[in-house]
Structures are given as C-alpha cells and as structure tokens.
C-alpha cells in the first residue's frame, strides 16, 4: 500500500495516461488504416475509370482498349498492382504485371444482379493478399447485351507498410506526449497539494510556540479539518487548565494535613517521645515527596501539550548557579558545553524540573566533576532525530542490574546520602510524558551518564522502551 498521497496520485495519473494514450493510439491506428484503405480504393477506382474511358465495344461485341492506366507498376511483372477486363466471364485484357496469371474473383461475387462498384479481398498470383476494386457494366450492341467486368487490385502489403511507418511515428509522438502529460500532472499535483504544505507549516509554528491556532485562508476541502483541529486544541487547553487547577487544589489540600503532622511530630519530641517524632517526621517527609512527585508528573502530562519552547543553555546555566549554592555544589567542577541558542520543544518549568533533578543527583554522587553536553540530531521526523542532552559525573556509577531500581519510586542504592530516592524516577516520568527517550549507563568519567533525547515534535508515547542502558554496565 502506497503511504505517500503524492505517489498515489502520480501512479494513478500514470496508469490513466498510459491507458488513455494506449486506447487513443489503437484507435488512431485503426482510423489511419481505414483512411489509407479508402484512399487506395479511390485510386483503384480512378484506374477503372481510365480503363472504362479507353474501352470501346463494337456492334459485333468485340472489345478494344485504346488507353491503359498510367501507373508504371502495371507494366512490371508481379509488381503487386494489377488490372483485368472481362466480358461474359472471359478475360479480354489484363495488365502486363499479371504475366501468365489472372485475377479470380469469388464465384458468388462475379455475377451481380445490378451493375455497380464493389470491393473485396482475394489471393494474388504470388499468394499475396490483394485489395480489389470491381466495376460491372452492361452494354447493348446490335440488339445483344454484354456484361463487362473491370477489375483493379493492389497488394495490401503496401497498406501494411504505411500503417507500420505511421505506428512508429505514433509511438514516438504518444511517448513524448505521455511524458509531457506526466510532467503537467506532477505540476498540477504539486499545486493541488500546496495547501497541505501550508497546513504543515502552520502546525510547525504552533509546535514552536509561535501561534496558538491554525489561521489563514485554506481551500474549502481543508476548512472542516482546520475547524476540527482548532476545536481539538480548544478542548486540550480546557483539559490542561482543569488538570493544573486540580493539581493545585491537591497541593493546597495536602499542605495543611502535612503541616499538622509535622507540628504533631514536634510536640511528641517536646514530650520526650523522640522515636515516635522521628518516625512521624520520616513518614511526613516521604508523603510530602510523593505528593511533590505526583504533582510534578501531573504538571508534566498537562504541560507536555502546551507547545512550549525553551532555551536549553539558559535553563541549564541558571540551574547550575543554584546547584553551586547547595551543599558540595561549590566543590564540583561543573562543565556546561551546550551550544548557544539551542532550543528544545519543552515548557520551561518542566525543563527546569527535569534538569534540576538530574543535576541534584549528580551533585550528591559526583566526586569532583560533572560534564553537561548537548547536540542537535536532525532526523526529518524519523526516529533518532531531536536534541540529545547528556549529563555525566565521576561518581561510583551503577550496575546495569541496579538501573531499574534507581528508576523506581524511592529506589536508593546508598541510604547514607541525603534524599528520598525520587529524583530519577521523576525524571523518567517527565521524559515519558514528553515522548522523549531516557538512557542510563557508564560515563567516560567513570560514573553515571544520563542521556535524554527530546523528540523533534513532542508527542505522547508509552513508557515501554523509553529506558535503556548503555552497552557497558556501570559499576
């Protein structure tokens, strides 16, 4: 099945043109053959008239011929052009081209009830196919009636030769016409499909955040599609706004109970029950982090369709300034190698949350160095295209078997390091919501390498297959 609309139209057009030109060529050949045959018959009848003009009948019935047709082929033996005169079924005169032969008409057509002109086909002296013109006249002399048959014939090979020559010229002409029609048809397709290119360009502007709706004049055939797309975008905006409102309500609704639980923990500690206070504080912190994670994920899912575009380098450098104010942040060599002006189709708040979790994880585990790189990989909409961001550290790294653990909620390899173990799990969920690809593995610095590929156009995909390890497992 052809997936290209342009290719479908071209194939359909090519088949139509071939069939149409083939039918036209066959029809023209038939018409040309009939035209040539009619013309040859007219010439044969002209020769009959010349014979008739030179034919004289005496009173005793004797025939004399004072004039023969002018064509010199009648004088060349077996030339393929013949004439013959008969009286009462007996040959009286014949052309020299017949030599010792004669033209034998079918018995059913030799005698006719009425005089007139006729044409038919017979076999010639050499076994050739002859086209025959015949004229039967009746004359009266001395009280007697005589039937005189005047016959001219020509080899049909001459007609076939003319038809073959015409067919060769016709094939060349129709082939050139076919190419010209295909070129014209291709141009017509390009003009006809032009509005689809405009529609695609307008959609790309929307993805880039340069427009909110499809606008501009479109052909009447595309207007319903444009209206439906704009209606879908309106519905999506309302859904996003409702989801963000619900996320905000959830955050505010849980804030008070969590604060109350923290207060109760303080009261328990003041009463001397430090163990219960610590347990309650741990539970409260875990709940707070889980709520925070779910809010971030909800925000990612709602904002992933907002067509935001962010400057990757600007967001990364702003986060690095924050990281350097956190514990151990100022002791790490942060190397940011992101080309200026590199933009990704991600909302800025989402990008900040995403990179912030990765940077914070690197801050906790790196020994002395973190390398941040990014490059654009054009793919023309094919898999593998987009922007690749890579964050590598010189920490202890992780084994391939441990990758799944650290991507789980609360998954931690070292309980001595501060945190709830939700950072990379949140990263996974945000990348999943954005339709990107997350990969973990060993870095060239010896620690963990986190790679994120942002798709050229953000889309929703399943989480399966978004997380993959490098070929070399980390330690």
Q: DSSP letter at 97?
A: G
Residue at 375 is within a domain: yes
Do 294 and 321 have their domain in common? no
Residues 373, 376, 377, 381, Cα dihedral to 10°: 140
Q: Which structural domain range is residue 297 located in? A: 208-303
**Range with the poorest average pLDDT among 139-153, 231-245, 288-302, 429-443:** 288-302
- Note whether 234 and 217 are within 8 A (CB): no
Give the pLDDT band (50/70/90) at residue 297: low
The label of the residue with tokens 């980390």 reads 474
What CATH number does the domain containing 418 carry? 3.30.565.10
- Note whether 460 and 409 are within 8 A (CB): no
Q: Which residues pair with 387 in a beta bridge?
A: 376, 454
The pTM for the full model equals: 0.52
For 415-424, how does the pLDDT look when each residue is reduced to its tens digit (9 = 90+)?
A: 344 443 456 7
Total number of domains in the chain:
3
Q: Domain end: 269, 303, 337, which one?
A: 303
Do 83 and 156 have their domain in common? yes
Do 470 and 406 have their domain in common? yes
Pairwise CA distance, residues 159 & 33, whole Å: 7
Give me 209's structure tokens: 């955040």
Q: What share of the chain has pLDDT > 90, as a percent?
A: 31
For 358-389, how does the pLDDT look when each residue is reduced to its tens digit (9 = 90+)?
A: 999 899 889 999 999 998 876 544 445 678 99
Give the chain's length. 475
Average pLDDT over residues 17-44: 94
Do 273 and 391 have their domain in common? no
DSSP-derived 3-state class of residue 231: helix
Residue 38: per-residue pLDDT: 92
Closest CA to 420 of 296, 289, 297: 289
Residue at 173 is within a domain: no
Do 409 and 447 have their domain in common? yes
Average pLDDT over residues 419-435: 70
For 166-206, how does the pLDDT look when each residue is reduced to its tens digit (9 = 90+)?
A: 999 999 999 999 999 999 999 999 888 888 888 888 887 77
Closest CA to 63 of 72, 52, 74, 71: 52
pLDDT surpasses 80 at 295: no
Give the pLDDT band (50/70/90) at residue 309: confident
464: CB partners within 8 A, 6+ apart: none
Average pLDDT over residues 86-92: 87
Beta strands in 314-436 (DSSP E): 333-337, 343-344, 369-377, 386-393
- Note whether 422 and 289 are within 8 A (CB): yes
For 381-416, how does the pLDDT look when each residue is reduced to its tens digit (9 = 90+)?
A: 444 567 899 999 998 887 776 776 666 544 444 434
**Range with the poorest average pLDDT among 44-48, 120-124, 132-136, 466-470:** 466-470
pLDDT surpasses 80 at 164: yes
Q: Which residue has the higher pLDDT, 253 or 218?
A: 218
Residue 385: per-residue pLDDT: 60
Residue at 63 is within a domain: yes
């Amino acid at each position: 099945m052809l997936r290209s609309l342009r290719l479908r139209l071209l194939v359909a057009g090519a088949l139509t043109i071939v069939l149409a030109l083939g039918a036209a060529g066959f029809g023209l050949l038939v018409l040309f053959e009939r035209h040539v045959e009619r013309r040859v018959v007219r010439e044969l009848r002209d020769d009959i008239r010349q014979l008739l003009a030179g034919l004289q009948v005496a009173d005793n019935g004797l025939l004399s011929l004072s004039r023969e047709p002018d064509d010199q082929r009648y004088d060349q033996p077996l030339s393929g052009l013949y004439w013959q005169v008969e009286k009462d079924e007996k040959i009286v005169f014949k052309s020299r081209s017949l030599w010792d032969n004669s033209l034998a008409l079918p018995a059913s057509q030799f005698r006719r009830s009425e005089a007139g002109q006729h044409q038919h086909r017979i076999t010639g002296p050499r076994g050739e196919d002859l086209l025959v013109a015949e004229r039967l006249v009746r004359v009266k002399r001395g009280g007697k009636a005589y039937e005189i048959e005047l016959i001219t014939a020509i080899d049909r090979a001459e007609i076939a030769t003319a038809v073959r020559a015409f067919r060769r010229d016709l094939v060349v002409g129709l082939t050139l016409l076919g190419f010209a029609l295909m070129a014209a048809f291709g141009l017509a397709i390009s003009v006809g499909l032009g509005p689809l290119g405009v529609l695609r360009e307008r959609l790309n502007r929307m993805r880039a955040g340069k427009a909110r709706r499809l606008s501009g004049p479109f052909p009447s055939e595309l207007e319903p599609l444009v209206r439906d797309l704009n209606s879908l975008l309106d519905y999506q905006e309302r859904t996003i706004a409702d989801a963000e409102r619900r996320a905000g309500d959830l955050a505010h609704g849980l804030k008070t109970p969590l604060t109350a639980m923290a207060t109760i923990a303080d009261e328990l500690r003041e009463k001397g029950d430090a163990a219960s206070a610590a347990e309650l504080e741990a539970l409260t912190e875990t709940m707070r982090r889980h709520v925070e994670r779910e809010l971030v994920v909800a925000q990612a899912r709602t904002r992933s369709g907002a067509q935001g575009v962010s400057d990757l380098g600007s967001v990364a450098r702003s986060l690095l300034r924050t990281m350097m104010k956190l514990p151990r942040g100022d002791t790490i060599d942060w190397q940011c190698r992101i080309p200026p002006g590199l933009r990704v189709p991600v909302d800025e708040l989402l990008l900040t949350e995403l990179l912030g979790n990765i940077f914070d994880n690197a801050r906790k585990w790196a020994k002395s160095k973190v390398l941040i790189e990014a490059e654009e990989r054009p793919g023309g909409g094919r898999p593998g295209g987009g922007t690749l961001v890579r964050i590598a550290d010189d920490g202890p790294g992780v084994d391939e078997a441990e990758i799944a653990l650290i991507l789980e909620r609360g998954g931690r390899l070292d309980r001595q390091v501060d945190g709830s173990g939700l950072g990379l799990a949140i990263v996974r969920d945000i990348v999943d919501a954005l339709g990107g690809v997350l990969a973990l593995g060993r870095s060239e610095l010896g620690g963990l390498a986190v790679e994120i590929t942002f798709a050229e156009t953000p889309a929703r995909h399943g989480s399966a297959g978004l997380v993959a390890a490098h070929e070399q497992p980390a330690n």
